[in-house]
């Protein structure tokens, strides 16, 4: 497990283009909405002197006034966006299964589809542990996109069950039942933490199965996604200690990044510095996600005794006589 973790870390480190590409992709996905929000804020402030304090830090009077009249995307402009509260808010939203604002749902859907498209290229890059070049990278993206959509349907069903059936059962049925007559907040919190733990374990279990399904699909060039899922599940079942401990190590890596951001996140008055530190945090988060994939791929390849092995041959130019024909 330790070797896989280290190997995965090395692979991520050796793939700066992927890290930067994924970071930029999150920026690009967020950018159109950010421009809309920028317009909303600017329009509301207009020529007002209130902008003078709002430009330097929090003008909470104006903020409240803005929120009262805001709709759509404007309603997502809440104090929880400031500094480390943003991380708490987003984690809490997942843990408590709070609905996304409709204005954000489209954004998240875009990010999910885009990530699904990139997943094949990212996996091949990390599995081969060598630079692919844009053509090969996007070729892999294209090859795996359709297959991962098929796998994604199955994953969506699993996550749908978790978030629309299991989560409400845990937190809207069991939690109120178990805490109905409690008068001690600490005890109720312990109950809730326990339920968070169990639910998180279920989510992670599903996540790890689908991670290994994608890894086996790419490394072994599998066409059947159900077959890949079965193969991934077999791998996890046969190596529970290693896969679990590796996952936990990666989760600890995530918590380390979150902890660093907790210490480093500047306040609302920092402006560009807050953005810069935030982007460093986002880059580290991207690296952590890649670390999950890379280390799990390394673990699987270790078991194959073929580090860097990927069954599918890299595409070579020219791919067809027709392409050859258009060369000068």
Partner 1 sequence: MGLRRKVWLAVAAIAFIAGVRSPAPLAAQSGEGMAPDIASYSIDATLDAAARTLTGREVITWRNPGNVPAYSIRLHLYWNAWRNTDSTWISQLKLAGRADQALGRPADEFGWQQVTELRLMNADGSAGPDLMPGFRYIQPGDQNPADRSLAAADLPNGVAPGESIQLRVAWKAQVPRTFSRTGAIGNYFFVAHWFPKLGTFESDGWAARQFFANTEFYADFGRYDVRLTVPRGWVVGATGREVSRTDTEGATIHRYEQDDVHDFVWTTSPDFVESTQRFEPPSLPPVTMRLLLQPEHRGQEDRHFAATAAALKYYGEWFGAYPYPQITIVDPAWQSDSGGMEYPTLFTAGTSWIAPRGSNDPESVTVHEAGHQFWYGMVANNEVTSAWMDEGLNTFSDARVQSIAFTPNYRVQRFFGGFIPWQFRDIPLSRATDDHYLNSYRAVAERDAPSTPSYLYWPGSTTGISYSKTALWLHTLERYLGWDRLQRVLATYFQRFRFKHPRPEDFFAIVNEESGRDMTWFFDEVHRSSNVFDYAAERLESVEVASRGFTEPTPGAALTFEDTTNKALFRTTVVVRRIGEATFPVDVLITFENGEQVRESWDGRGRWQPYMYEKPTRAVSVQVDPERVLLLDVNYTNNSIATRPLASEAADHWTLQWMVWVQDLLLNYSFFV
Least distance in angstroms from the C-beta of 53 to partner 1: 8
Applying CB under 8 A, which of residues 14, 17, 21, 76 lies at the interface with partner 1? 76
From the centroid of its chain, how far is CA 62? 33
Least distance in angstroms from the C-beta of 204 to partner 1: 10
Torsion of CA 92, 98, 103, 106, to 10 degrees: 90
Nearest alpha-carbon partner for 236 in 294, 290, 288, 296: 296
Spatial separation of the C-alpha atoms in residues 219 and 221, rounded to whole Å: 6
Applying CB under 8 A, which of residues 71, 183, 316, 320 lies at the interface with partner 1? 183
Least distance in angstroms from the C-beta of 246 to partner 1: 16
Which residues between 29 and 58 bind partner 1 (CB under 8 A)? Answer: 29-31, 33-35, 37-39, 41-42, 44-52, 54-58
CB nearer to partner 1: pick between 84 and 302: 84
* Contact (CB, 8 A) for 147 and 36: no
* Contact (CB, 8 A) for 186 and 222: no
CB nearer to partner 1: pick between 38 and 238: 38
Least distance in angstroms from the C-beta of 137 to partner 1: 17
Least distance in angstroms from the C-beta of 119 to partner 1: 6
CA distance readout (Å), 20 to 12, 47, 155, 215, 291: 11, 38, 27, 22, 14
From the centroid of its chain, how far is CA 109? 12
Those residues with Cβ within 8 angstroms of residue 168's Cβ, 6 or more apart along the chain or in another chain: 97
Which residues between 90 and 129 bind partner 1 (CB under 8 A)? Answer: 90-96, 104, 107-108, 111-112, 115-116, 119
Reported as half-sphere exposure (CB side, CA atoms, 13 A), residue 326 has a value of 6
Spatial separation of the C-alpha atoms in residues 112 and 92, rounded to whole Å: 20
Least distance in angstroms from the C-beta of 318 to partner 1: 33
Sketch the per residue contact string, 290 through 319, with partner 1: x for CB under 8 A, - otherwise: ------------------------------
Least distance in angstroms from the C-beta of 253 to partner 1: 13
Applying CB under 8 A, which of residues 20, 157, 182, 252 lies at the interface with partner 1? 182
Q: Is 257 in the site for partner 1 (CB under 8 A)?
A: no
Cis peptide before 318 (omega within 30 of 0): yes
Which residues between 77 and 96 bind partner 1 (CB under 8 A)? Answer: 77, 79-96
CB nearer to partner 1: pick between 119 and 217: 119
Applying CB under 8 A, which of residues 125, 222, 285, 312 lies at the interface with partner 1? 285
**Could you write out the three-class secondary structure of 15-55?**
CHHHHHHHHHHHHHHHHHHHHHHHHHHHHHHCCCCHHHHHC
């Amino acid at each position: 497990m330790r070797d896989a973790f280290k190997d995965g870390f090395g692979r991520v480190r050796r793939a700066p283009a992927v890290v930067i590409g994924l970071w930029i992709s999150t920026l690009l996905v967020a950018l159109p909405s950010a421009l809309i929000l920028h317009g909303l804020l600017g329009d509301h402030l207009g020529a007002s002197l209130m902008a003078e304090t709002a430009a330097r830090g929090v003008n909470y009077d104006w903020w409240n006034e803005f929120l009262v009249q805001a709709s759509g995307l404007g309603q997502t402009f809440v104090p929880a966006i400031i500094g480390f509260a943003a991380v708490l808010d987003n984690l809490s939203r997942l843990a408590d299964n709070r609905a996304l604002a409709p204005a954000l749902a489209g954004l998240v859907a875009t990010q999910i589809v885009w990530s699904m498209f990139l997943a094949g290229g990212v996996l091949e890059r990390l599995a081969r542990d060598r630079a692919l070049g844009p053509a090969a990278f996007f070729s892999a993206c294209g090859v795996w996109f359709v297959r991962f959509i098929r796998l994604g349907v199955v994953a969506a069903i699993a996550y749908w069950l978790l978030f629309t059936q299991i989560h409400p059962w845990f937190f809207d049925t069991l939690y109120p039942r178990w805490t109905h007559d409690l008068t001690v907040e600490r005890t109720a919190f312990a109950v809730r933490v326990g339920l968070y733990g169990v639910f998180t374990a279920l989510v992670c279990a599903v996540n790890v199965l689908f991670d290994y399904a994608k890894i086996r699909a790419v490394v072994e060039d599998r066409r059947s996604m159900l077959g890949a899922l079965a193969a991934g599940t077999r791998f996890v079942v046969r190596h529970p200690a290693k896969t679990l401990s590796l996952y936990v190590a990666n989760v600890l890596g995530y918590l380390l990044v979150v902890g660093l951001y907790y210490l480093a996140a500047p306040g609302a008055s920092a402006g560009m510095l807050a953005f810069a530190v935030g982007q460093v945090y986002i880059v580290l988060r991207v690296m952590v996600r890649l670390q999950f994939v890379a280390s799990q791929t390394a673990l699987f390849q270790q078991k194959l005794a073929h580090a860097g092995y990927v069954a599918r041959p890299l595409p070579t130019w020219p791919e067809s006589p027709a392409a050859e024909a258009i060369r000068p």
